[in-house]
Amino acid sequence: MSTLLKVDNVDSGYGDIQILWDVSISVDRGEVVAVLGPNGAGKTTLLKTIAGLIKPKKGRITMNGNRIDGLPPEKVVGEGVALALAEKELFPSMTVKENLQLGAFNKGARKKLDENLELVYSIFPKLRERESQRAGTMSGGEQQMLAIGRALMTDARLLLLDEPSTGLAPLMVKNIFTGLRRLMETKTELSILLVEQRIGQAAELSDRGYILSNGHVVYEGDIRQGIATQAFVKKYLGV
Ligand SMILES: Nc1ncnc2c1ncn2[C@@H]1O[C@H](COP(=O)(O)OP(=O)(O)O)[C@@H](O)[C@H]1O
Ligand SMILES: [Mg+2]
């Protein structure tokens, strides 16, 4: 497999407050990579730094060999990176379909709008059923599907997902993960960097993962095996 995203020795944070310390991670083409870690570890900060919402203080980030750190967020989208945040940024008074269409704002994505809309509807059939409904009236889980769908509409090669299952009822969590699994089966060259609190589900979907603690990468490798042992979970995830 070849490397798609590479984060090398990145320091990042907010103003004078440093959150990430010398963080290095990579994602190959077609891979699902989990990022786990306790609350406040810096997981969201990492995703925001990759997406160009925060400029790293040190290190480099490349997509497909092209440097993306320091680029404004919309240019990072143009390099194939799309972020779906836990706190969704949907347009509540617009319909589901309009929200999805708005995801395809960059040039490359506009050309593939129909194809990507079909992809989104095929992984989350609920969105097709509800395409004329206003986004603000959708349930939490449906809005999460919409946020992921909108990220896909940018014609992303790398999806950054920030806790897609947080706050959702078990059935909805299942629907989200089923959709993601279907997505990876349909679009095999896509990659996902998945931040999750639900370590079991994240481990099942991902090929491998990293654990962040206090802004440091403290573990890198197989997650499925690791979380099967209590000592591992206690040591790295503090639960
Ligand atoms: N806008 C901000 N300004 C200052 N500090 C922040 C900001 N956002 C997050 N932080 C701090 O950064 C640390 C890591 O937060 P975050 O990346 O959200 O962690 P996680 O997603 O792993 O829970 C926390 O201590 C948090 O308080
Ligand atoms: Mg977070």
pLDDT in tens, 48-81: 999 999 999 999 999 999 999 999 999 999 999 9
Q: What is the pTM of this model?
A: 0.95
Report the pLDDT averaged over residues 4-13. 98
pLDDT in tens, 175-190: 999 999 999 999 999 9
Confidence of residue 87 (pLDDT cuts 50, 70, 90): low
The three-class DSSP label of residue 177 is: helix
Residue type, 147: A
Task: Characterize the bridge pairing of strands 191-195 and 208-213.
Answer: unpaired
d(CA 223, CA 126): 31
Q: Name the fold adopted by 3-237.
A: Rossmann fold (3.40.50)
Q: Report CA-CA distances (Å) from 232 to 11, 30, 162, 207.
A: 26, 27, 23, 18
Percent over 70 (pLDDT), the chain: 98
For residue 127, what are the contacts with CB-CB under 8 A and spacing of at least 6? 96, 100, 120, 121, 142, 145, 146, 149
CB distance 56 to ligand 1 below 6 Å: no
Could you tell me the end-to-end alpha-carbon distance of the chain, in angstroms, rounded to an integer?
Answer: 34
CB distance 16 to ligand 1 below 6 Å: no
CB distance 42 to ligand 1 below 6 Å: yes
DSSP string of 76-122? Answer: HHHTTEEEE-SS----TTSBHHHHHHHH--SHHHHHTHHHHHHHHHH
Domain limits, the chain: 3-237
CA 214 / ligand 1 centre spacing (Å):
10
By alpha-carbon position, which residue is closest to atom 16 of ligand 1? 42
